[in-house]
Amino acid sequence: MPVVAFYSNHSNAKLQSEWENKIQVHYPLVNLVPLLSDQAENAIIALLWKAPLERVKNLNNLKGLISLGQGVDHILKDNIINNKMPVVRIVDPFMAKSMSHWVVMCVLNFTRDTFGYYDQQKNKIYKPRKEKNFTNLKIAIYGIGAIGSVVAKDLKKLGFKVYGWSRTQKKIPGIICLIGKDKFKNLLKSCDIHICLLPLTKETYNIFDNSSFKIMKHGSCFINAGRGEQVVEEHLIKNCKSGHISSAILDVYRKEPLPKKSKLWEQENISIWPHVAAETNPETAAKQIANAIRCIENGQIPPNTIERKLGY
Ligand code: NDP
Ligand code: OXD
CA 63/CA 293 separation, integer angstroms: 10
Mutate to test the pocket of ligand 1, among 166, 188, 276 (most ligand atoms within 8 A of CB): 166
CA 120/CA 125 separation, integer angstroms: 5
- Closest Cα to atom 2 of ligand 2: 69
CA 198/CA 208 separation, integer angstroms: 11
Give the helix/strand (H/E) hosting 99. Answer: helix 93-111
Structural domain of 49 = 3-92+280-297
Judge if pTM exceeds 0.85. yes
- Closest Cα to atom 3 of ligand 2: 71
Tell me which residues have their CB closer than 6 angstroms to ligand 1.
69-71, 91, 95, 99, 143-148, 165-168, 170, 197-201, 203-204, 225-227, 251-252, 275, 277-278, 312
CA 256/CA 154 separation, integer angstroms: 29
Determine the average pLDDT of the residues in 223-231.
Answer: 99
Give the helix/strand (H/E) hosting 270. Answer: strand 270-272
Residue 135 burial (CB count, 10 A):
8
Mutate to test the pocket of ligand 2, among 70, 204, 256 (most ligand atoms within 8 A of CB): 70
**Angle 222-227-229 (CA atoms, 0-180°, nearest 5)?**
95
pLDDT of residue 251: 99
221-255 burial code (b ≥16 CB/10 A, e <16):
bbbbbbbbbbbbbebbbbbbeeeebbbbbbbbbbe
Q: Is residue 106 situated within a structural domain?
A: yes
- Closest Cα to atom 5 of ligand 2: 69
Determine the average pLDDT of the residues in 137-158.
Answer: 98
- For ligand 2, what atom is nearest to the CA of residue 74? 3
- For ligand 2, what atom is nearest to the CA of residue 72? 3
Kindly give the distance from the C-alpha atom of residue 304 to the centroid of ligand 2, in angstroms, as a whole number. Answer: 14
Determine the average pLDDT of the residues in 235-240.
Answer: 98
- Check which CATH number belongs to the domain holding 204 and give it: 3.40.50.720
Asked whether residue 173 falls in the same domain as residue 72, the answer is: no
Mutate to test the pocket of ligand 2, among 95, 204, 252 (most ligand atoms within 8 A of CB): 95
Asked whether residue 105 falls in the same domain as residue 157, the answer is: yes
Asked whether residue 87 falls in the same domain as residue 98, the answer is: no
* Closest listed ligand to the CA of 69: 2
List phi, psi (to 5°) of 79.
50, 40
Kindly give the distance from the C-alpha atom of residue 95 to the centroid of ligand 1, in angstroms, as a whole number. Answer: 13
What total of structural domains would you count in the chain? 2
Determine the average pLDDT of the residues in 106-113.
Answer: 98
CA 142/CA 194 separation, integer angstroms: 8
Q: Is residue 76 situated within a structural domain?
A: yes
Determine the average pLDDT of the residues in 75-98.
Answer: 98
- Classify 65 as helix, strand or coil: strand
DSSP 2-52: -EEEEEETT--HHHHHHHHHHHHTT-TT-EEEETTSGGGGG-SEEEEES--
pLDDT of residue 12: 78
Kindly give the distance from the C-alpha atom of residue 71 to the centroid of ligand 1, in angstroms, as a whole number. Answer: 8
Is the bond preceding residue 257 a cis peptide, omega within 30 degrees?
A: yes
Residues contacting 40, CB < 8 A, separation 6+: 3, 5, 33, 34, 46, 55, 59
Q: Is residue 307 situated within a structural domain?
A: no
Asked whether residue 238 falls in the same domain as residue 292, the answer is: no
Asked whether residue 82 falls in the same domain as residue 97, the answer is: no
Kindly give the distance from the C-alpha atom of residue 277 to the centroid of ligand 1, in angstroms, as a whole number. Answer: 14
Asked whether residue 56 falls in the same domain as residue 176, the answer is: no
* Residue in 169, 150, 190, 127 with CA at minimum distance from that of residue 278: 150
Q: Is residue 68 situated within a structural domain?
A: yes
Determine the average pLDDT of the residues in 130-158.
Answer: 97
Q: Is residue 304 situated within a structural domain?
A: no
| Residue 202 in this model has a pLDDT that exceeds 80 | yes
- Closest Cα to atom 21 of ligand 1: 166
Distance of CA 196 to the CA centre of its chain: 9
User: Percent of the chain having pLDDT more than 90?
Assistant: 98
**Angle 268-137-241 (CA atoms, 0-180°, nearest 5)?**
20
172 DSSP assignment: B
Asked whether residue 263 falls in the same domain as residue 139, the answer is: yes
Residue 98 binned pLDDT confidence (cut-offs 50, 70, 90): very high
Q: Over the stretch 46-74, which tens digit does the pLDDT of each residue have?
A: 999 999 999 999 999 999 999 999 999 99
CA 184/CA 58 separation, integer angstroms: 41
pLDDT of residue 10: 82
Asked whether residue 190 falls in the same domain as residue 112, the answer is: yes
Kindly give the distance from the C-alpha atom of residue 23 to the centroid of ligand 2, in angstroms, as a whole number. Answer: 19
- Closest Cα to atom 1 of ligand 1: 145
Q: Is residue 256 situated within a structural domain?
A: yes
Residues contacting 16, CB < 8 A, separation 6+: 6, 8, 32, 34
* Closest listed ligand to the CA of 93: 1
| Residue 11 in this model has a pLDDT that exceeds 80 | no
Kindly give the distance from the C-alpha atom of residue 85 to the centroid of ligand 2, in angstroms, as a whole number. Answer: 20
| Residue 258 in this model has a pLDDT that exceeds 80 | yes
Q: Is residue 182 situated within a structural domain?
A: yes
Asked whether residue 208 falls in the same domain as residue 263, the answer is: yes
Contact, 72 vs 88, CB < 8 A? no
Q: Is residue 247 situated within a structural domain?
A: yes
